[in-house]
A = this chain, B = another copy of it.
Amino acid sequence: MNLCPKRWSRRKEARPHEILEAALELFAEKGYAATRIDEIAKRAGVTRGTPYLYFAGKEEIFKALISELLLPALDEAEALFNGFSGSASERLRCVVHVWWQSMGETRLSALPKLMVAEAGNFPEVAQLYNEQFVARGEAIFRQVIEAGIASGEFRAIDVEYALHVLCAPVVMAMLSRYMPCGHAQLDPVRYLDTLLDLMLHGLYPHPDSTRSEVSDHA
C-alpha cells in the first residue's frame, strides 16, 4: 500500500487543490448528490478521511469550488479583458472568446451546471456564486454594451435585457458540454461566432453585408 514512502512529503499544500479538482470532475459527471466523498478522495489519491482535514464537509467543498477555482479564473479573465482595447464590437468579441477560453472550455464550466441543479438546495453557495461570479460576469458584458451605446456604435437597446440575451448562449454552451443533446455536436467557437454575428447584425439581410464576419471561420 505504501509503495512510495514519501508520496505526500511535498504535497501537503497541494492536497486541498487536488481534492477540489477531483470534486469538480465528479460533480460535473454525476452532480452533487450522486458524488460520494469516497470517490472524490480516491480520485484525489487520498482516503476517505482526508477531505475532512481540509474541508468541513461536502457542502464546504462545493463552496470552495467557487471561491478557490472559479473566482480566480474570473480574476484572470477580467485581467485579460481589461488589457484589451478596441471598438465595442471588437471588445465584445474579445469578451466572449476570452470567457470561453478561460472558463467555458475548461472543467470550470461544470459549475454553472452544478448551480442550475443545486442553487435551491444550497442558498449560501448560490449567493456566493451570484454575487461573486454572475454579477461580475454580467458587469463585464454590461460595460461593453454600455460603452458601445455611448459611442454610438450600438443601438440604444435596453442594456439589462440585451445583456442577458447575449450571455444566455455563452452559458448554454457551458451547460451543453454535460448534455448529450443538440448543442453537443456543434463546434463551440463557431457557435459563439454565430452568436456574435447575429447579435451584431441580426437575421435581416444587411444593407451593407461587409460586416458579416462569421464566414471567416468555416
Give the interface of A toward B (CB within 8 A).
29-34, 89, 113, 115-121, 123, 126-127, 129-130, 134-135, 138, 145, 148, 152-155, 157-158, 160-162, 164-169, 171-173, 175, 178-183, 186, 190-191, 194-195, 197-209, 211-212, 214
Contacts and interface: CB of A to CB of B under 8 A. Distances in A.
A205 B200 CA distance: 9
Contacts of A207: 206-209
A101 B68 CA distance: 40
A55 to B, nearest CB: 18
Given A116-B116, A157-B203, A207-B207, 13 more contacts: A31-B121, A32-B33, A33-B34, A113-B116, A126-B179, A134-B182, A135-B182, A154-B204, A154-B205, A164-B182, A164-B191, A202-B204, A206-B207
Contacts of A134: 181-182
